[in-house]
């Protein structure tokens, strides 16, 4: 991941931490993962980066960061994100 992509992701996460809602084209809902789950979308020079997160009242939980190569989010990423959020919610 390039320096510019990391900076853009950091900037967007900072906005979320400040309570600012982000919509398309930078963030889209991911209801297949769970309530309040979204996907940050950062594109750079032919490379698409995705960050799966959940915005809670007191935290922004980042559960996956990956390079997207197809139009669909890989099932393994979705399942892993669900598992991590379940573990977080039970603790």
DSSP annotation string for the chain: --HHHHHHHHHHHHHHHTT----TTTEEE-TTT-TTEEEEEEEETTEEEEEEEEE-SS-EEEEEEEEE-SSS--HHHHHHHHHHHHHHHH-
Model confidence pLDDT, tens digit, residues 39-82 = 999 998 888 999 999 999 889 999 999 998 888 888 999 999 99
CB atoms within 10 A of CB 19: 9
The pTM score is: 0.88
- Tens of pLDDT along 2-51? 888 899 999 999 999 999 999 999 999 999 999 899 999 999 888 899 99
């Amino acid at each position: 991941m390039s320096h510019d992509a990391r900076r853009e992701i950091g900037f967007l996460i900072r906005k979320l931490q400040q309570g600012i809602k982000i919509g398309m084209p930078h963030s889209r809902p991911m209801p297949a993962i769970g309530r309040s789950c979204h996907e940050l979308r950062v594109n750079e020079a032919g490379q698409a980066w995705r960050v799966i997160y959940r915005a809670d009242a007191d935290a922004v939980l980042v559960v996956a960061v990956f390079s997207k190569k197809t139009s669909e989010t890989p099932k393994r990423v979705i399942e892993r994100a669900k598992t991590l959020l379940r573990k977080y919610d039970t603790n």
